[in-house]
Structure 1
Amino acid sequence: MSENLALVAHAKEDVRVEGLPEPAPAPDEAVVAIAYGGICGSDLHYWLHGAAGQSILREPMVLGHEIVGTVLAAAADGSGPAAGTRVAVHPATEGDDGTAPYPSDRPNLSPAGTYLGSAARMPHTHGAFASRVALPSRMLRSIPEGLELRLAALAEPAAVAWHGVGQAGEITGRRVLVIGAGPIGALAIAVAKHHGASEIIATDLHAHPRALAERLGATAMEATDAAGIASVHADVVIESSGTVPGLAAAISGARRGGTVVMLGLQRAGDIGVPMASAITRELTLVGSFRFNDEIDEVLAALADGSLDAGPVISHELPIGDGLRALELARDASVSSKVLLTFPAAEQDEGAQP
């Protein structure tokens, strides 16, 4: 068996590829051989800043929550999929702190919830950028027959986009503007197209994501074209850049009475945006945070081909080149979704349509 290599964040600008002990699963955990792992913006933040928002790295932590693989050993308590099952991973765990109420049908809003690869709590919740990991069986979703693991690796970020687009309500026949065509924005384009949007316009600062947006079926526009964005008059705007100028552009690009979904996570603290415009044009501003069970719908849509998301994958690098993969993923001018590959990627069976 190969060494259990992992991508571990130790501190700001200190991420290492290192060997881990073999996983020791709890009774309700399965051992999974990871095949692919997608690098997320939060992984980059832990590497570059030692923190992702208010989640500060205080001890070494395995990165990664966008993962797929194959069950090596099923959970001892009999829960979850059997050995040999190809699985995607829902990385969230609901948590009630006993104080802050939240809707029972929206566990993504639970105040004490955890997420794989998150430093929000101590001890940190380790991620799964490792050759072999132990994961709660309740997190595992069987991958439909015929769907290759490589494409299934998009299930988690696509579920984020699916949830965000869903926050706008009915999309069929509506004009949609996507602010920021990075990986999540690109997936939002794919989801909006799947949901029947009549027209999709996307903005970005860089030529590479604009070209990807067009490949996915959107009309691309430079993010600096303020007059052009204001003239879109979109029924729905998906703000996926997570920047203050991006949110201002989203408000300006919405039609009167339109909806702006704040999918990109803004920096902590107060920010300045044109709220008077949002008020006088009666815009609906709605937040979007992670997802609930949309990953199941995403896997089905990826499997039947109705969700065309494959072009979002731009690079694949082995775990041994993890640091180079991070470098690529941080450069939005040349990359979209960067995947780490693990030994199990070479053994993917049953992916033929």
Structure 2
Amino acid sequence: MSFVLPETTLGVMAHAAGDLRVEHVALTAPTAEQAVIEIAYGGVCGSDLHYWTHGAAGESILKAPMLLGHEVVGTVVTAAADGTGPAVGTSVAIHPATPGGTAPRFPSDRPNLSPCCTYLGSAAQYPHTEGAFVKYAVLPTRMLRELPEGLDLRTASVAEPASVAWHAVSRAGDVRGKKALVVGCGPIGALVVAVLKRAGAQSITAVDMHDVPLQIASTLGADRVLKATDAEAVAASDADVVIECTGNHRGLESAIRGATRGGRVVMLGLLPSGPQPVHISLAITRELELVGSFRFNDEIDEVLLALADGSLAVDAVLTHEYPVEEALEAFAVAKDASVSGKVLLRF
């Protein structure tokens, strides 16, 4: 018996700052190039939390109620009518980006920088791009990535944030045999540690304010952990490569101070809009390379293979799981970095 798409499905909506709701949202029938995915898990991202708490994520400002969620995995229940994409019953991860636009110009091999790129659950464009924190998601087949054999849906739920981490490490260059410093060990920072470990970093120092994230980072491969309050020890890290994951000017300050002369600082954490009070003069006199890292491109394909063969170990980052009906509690736990890593919604 073929699957019949319901008219509505339960979803997680951000209506405004401080206004998060679990409610039924309308579904539209798939077009020829779209498939219907029964979502199994969705990871709560920092951007989801920002839309909930601040009504904005960086420069992306919430102007209307928006369905959240882009870290999702599930199973195809209706294949695309045009014959593209995976068959019914296939487990898939989702690549949530749709590159677009040609002006202003950007490197053709870096579509993540395209000016009109949309992302599931993002308010960067208006009308906003609806997310996929729903029981059933109607998505274009180009977003679907079939899971390699042996990779379960729960583990695959971190494919999207792990791809963000993978992209950031690639922006650092070849890290083999180098000293690395990771500032901020929330889920993304912890995954950066795991990717650095797999990539052959000689040593990895992880920095955070809280014990739980540092414990997770240690399990995922950090050789040394430091409290962010120990500014002297952080500054003495003398790291060849630093990846800043806090999205806070204090974290960026620590990253700059912790880099060796001539080192590279990858700015992965998304700082708030506006000027930031950071000692850039140190970057000049030490000839540091400051590079940005934004989302990812096709790294998700490599990530899925690494998750499947076990070379990228991520289990420790998954700390909590809630049914979608308890999304408000899940978001509250995810917001408290002192007690949680990656929090999953179960659909």
Judge same fold: TM > 0.5, yes or no: yes
Judge conservation of contact 1:23–1:132 (CA < 8 Å) in 2.
no
- Asked whether 1:45 is paired with 2:21, we answer no
Q: Which residue of 1 aligns with 2:158?
A: 154
Give the whole-Å Cα distance in 1 for the aligned partners of 2:67 and 2:323: 16
- The one-letter amino acid paired with 1:172 is R
For 1:313-352, list aligned pairs within 5 A. Answer: 313-342=318-347
Instruction: Give TM-score scaled by structure 2 length.
Output: 0.96
Identity of aligned residues (%): 60
Q: Does 1:215 align with 2:225?
A: no
Work out whether 1:246 is the aligned partner of 2:251.
Answer: yes
> Using CA pairs below 8 Å that are at least 6 residues apart, which structure has the higher relative contact order?
1
User: Which structure 2 residue ranges, 5 or more long, are not aligned?
Assistant: none
Q: Which one is further off, 186-195 or 275-284?
A: 275-284
Question: More displaced, 210-219 or 186-195?
Answer: 210-219
Q: CA deviation at 1:212?
A: 1.0
Instruction: List runs of 5+ in structure 1 lacking aligned partners.
Output: 343-353
**Alignment partner, residue 233 of structure 2:** 228
Equivalent residues in 2 for 1:168-183 (5 A)? 168-183=172-187
TM-align CA RMSD = 1.1
Structure 1 distance, partners of 2:103, 2:133, is 33
* Alignment map for 1:245-324 (pairs within 5 Å): 245-324=250-329
CA deviations over 1:84-115 (Å, ceiling 9, x no partner): 1100000000011x430001110000001100
Q: Kindly provide the amino acid, as one letter, of the partner of residue 111 in structure 1.
A: P
Q: 1:29 aligns with which of 6, 26, 34?
A: 34
Measured in 2, the distance between the counterparts of 1:147 and 1:121 equals 34
* Alpha-carbon distance between aligned partners in 1 of 2:126 and 2:236, rounded to the nearest angstrom: 47
User: Post-superposition shift, 1:54?
Assistant: 2.1
Instruction: Give the 3-state SS of the residue equivalent to 2:133 in structure 1.
Output: coil
For 1:311, the aligned partner's letter is A
Query: Which residue identity does 2:34 align to in structure 1?
Result: E
Query: Which of structure 1's runs of 4+ aligned residues deviate more than 3 A?
Result: none
- Quote the Cα distance in structure 1 between the aligned partners of 2:212 and 2:317: 11
How many pairs are equivalent? 341
1:190 equivalent to 2:194? Answer yes
Q: Is the 8 A contact 1:23 1:133 kept in 2?
A: no
Residue 333 of structure 1: SS of its match in structure 2?
coil
So what's the TM-score if we normalise by structure 1?
0.95
Whole-Å Cα distance in 2 between the matches of residues 99 and 284 of structure 1?
27
Q: After the TM superposition, which of the residue ranges 185-194 and 3-12 deviates more from structure 2? A: 3-12
